[in-house]
Amino acid sequence: MKYSFAPNVPVTLPVANSHENFPVRRIYCVGKNYADHIVEMGGNAKRDEPVFFTKSAQTIVKNYSKIPYPRNTTNLHYEVELVVAIGPNGIFGYSVGLDMTRRDVQKIAKSKGGPWSRAKNFPNSAVCSNITPSDQVKIQNAEIKLLKNNEIVQKSNISKLIWSINEIISYLKHDMDLKEGDLIYTGTPAGVGAVLPGDILLGQIDGLEEINVEFV
Ligand code: MN
């Protein structure tokens, strides 16, 4: 095979407690999956169905990164989320993720009924910790938490997901082509808010390696 130019090197995430690296294929994201977050965004938790959107693998940011504040926004928001990593035999493992969002861009897109791509799928928008293999953790009742500059800003429990991990997986299998290498960001609880240069975000889920990044 002769390429016109050198192909991109696959994006990978380290696997915790091993020397393996997880090659990332696609990133699926679920919106509106915790009732308290739907309410804070002005929605109706009883009526609203979860929404799905995607990010490119190239938007991944690993632990301990310094992240440049993105262009074309004055309202960059954090959303801490459980990330499910899919392997050849189902769930491979879990990570702590930050679904970074240009909230001002999303607000304009929502008002015009336009796509969310520019609000969600921009450089450095998919922050993700190392992947903990699924056989090393019990995730169903794990606490999920985000600290901004050492202050807790988001706190909930994985048991509060409106659509469970298995329901999301079966939906995506039916609707898309969920395969090994895919990541699923499962949605964020209430407490989303703005990030500024100099802020440090620390995301934690019981039993998983934490995610720690700084915005510059
Ligand atoms: Mn999200």
pLDDT band at 46 (very low <50, low <70, confident <90, very high): confident
Q: What is the mean pLDDT of residues 173-199?
A: 96
CA of 188 to the centre of ligand 1 (A): 5
Cα–ligand 1 centroid distance for 33 (angstroms): 9
Span 7-16, average pLDDT? 96
Q: What is the CATH number of domain 12-215?
A: 3.90.850.10
Could you tell me the residue ranges of all domains in the chain?
A: 12-215
Compute, in angstroms, the gap from residue 31 CA to the centroid of ligand 1. 5
Looking at every residue in the chain, the average pLDDT score rounds to 96
Contacts of residue 50, Cβ cutoff 8 Å, sequence gap at least 6: 30, 31, 32, 33, 162, 163, 168, 187
pLDDT of residue 135: 97
Note the pLDDT tens digit of each residue in 83-115: 999 999 999 999 999 999 999 999 999 999 999
Predicted confidence (pLDDT) at residue 49 exceeds the cutoff of 90? no
d(C-alpha 41, C-alpha 116), whole Å = 15
What is the average per-residue pLDDT within 123-147?
98
pLDDT for position 48? 76
Least confident of 33-37, 57-61, 93-97, 210-214: 33-37
* HEC assignment per residue over 102-113: EHHHHHHHHHHC
Q: How far is CA 145 from CA 80, 85, 97, in A?
A: 7, 19, 11
| Share of residues in the chain with pLDDT > 90 (%) | 94
Mean pLDDT over residues 179-208, rounded?
98
In the reported structure, the alpha carbon of residue 133 is separated from the centroid of ligand 1 by a whole-number distance in angstroms of: 22
Neighbours of ion ligand 1 (CB under 5 A): 79, 99, 188
